[in-house]
Homo-oligomer: A and B are copies of this chain.
């Protein structure tokens, strides 16, 4: 691609789903990313995005996107594209993305297949942007994966302490939008909590170990800590919460923890990237924080209920499952790669 000044042209796959809608919204008026193609389900090819999408997130369909004619996901339809951003559902993602990679296209993808592939960087920018270095020597097209929404929120919240964590006990309370627009029946979840989200606990444990571990220079070393998770679906629309107990390798005070979390910055903040939150971790001083209804930031993680007793530290973290957990991370990853001159 070109130098710092050039536009990065992207295509968005799965543009009509909740995550796709957020990608379209976040790219409105972006300083250097330009959306040149949008795709949805095969039956919609040729129709205008504005006519097809049932816009469900905040605001309304961005003007710039309304007239874009939906294309297929086939490589031939991704011609004037520097990077394909994929918000495809898990069940169709792999073959589509494989085909694009074979055709020489670069892909940053939200879908689960291949996240744990040892050759594929799994990126939560503030947490492990360094893993992107493995692409420096790569020739041809590359694939970068973004994590599961809850893995993204948890790893960001604990990143400043990660080096000293020996064990994690986590219980998550996950919003219904995490299952997709029609992912869960109202009849099943209303006034109820469901302590089972298929595959979620294993994903969180595996992805956290990968992102907090080492990847690069021929090495691939997961973080190696036991990450025990109970994932529970709750009747909340947006925002995943995690109650996190961390067994540390030494004693901590609440002030220690607060200082580490509040002071944390990473390359996205230092490079002042457009989609980066000024502070990735916000520590709330309200005793009853964080709450989805009151404390949901799109890209930062909000933390509260800090407690420390001996070697055990407790926090409750909250993040936006569709933005920090998905669409926002995808765009921030692209911005980070640009700042690293990988794009």
Give me the interface of A with B, judged by CB distance under 8 Å. 56, 169, 171, 173, 176-177, 181-182, 184-196, 226, 228, 230, 232, 234-237, 241, 243, 245, 287-294, 304-305, 309, 312, 314, 316
In the bound complex, what is the Cα–Cα distance between A304 and B195 (angstroms)? 9
- Shortest CB-to-CB span from A93 to chain B, Å, is 22
Bound: A169/B172 CA distance, A: 13
A241 nearest CB across to chain B (Å): 6
Given contacts A186-B184, A230-B305, A309-B228, contact A236 B193 (CB under 8 A): yes
- Closest Cβ of chain B to A326, distance in Å, is 15
Q: List 26 A-B contacts (CB under 8 A).
A: A56-B188, A171-B171, A176-B187, A177-B187, A184-B186, A186-B186, A186-B237, A187-B237, A188-B293, A190-B190, A190-B235, A191-B236, A191-B292, A192-B291, A192-B292, A192-B294, A193-B292, A195-B243, A195-B305, A196-B288, A226-B312, A228-B309, A228-B314, A232-B241, A232-B243, A232-B316
Q: A230-B243, A235-B235, A314-B228 are in contact. Are A173 and B191 (CB under 8 A)?
A: no
Q: How far is the CA of A182 from the CA of B173 in the complex (A)?
A: 22
User: A192 to B293, Cβ gap below 8 A?
Assistant: yes
Do residues A316 and B191 form an inter-chain contact, with CB atoms below 8 A?
A: no
Is the CB–CB distance between B245 and A228 below 8 Å? yes
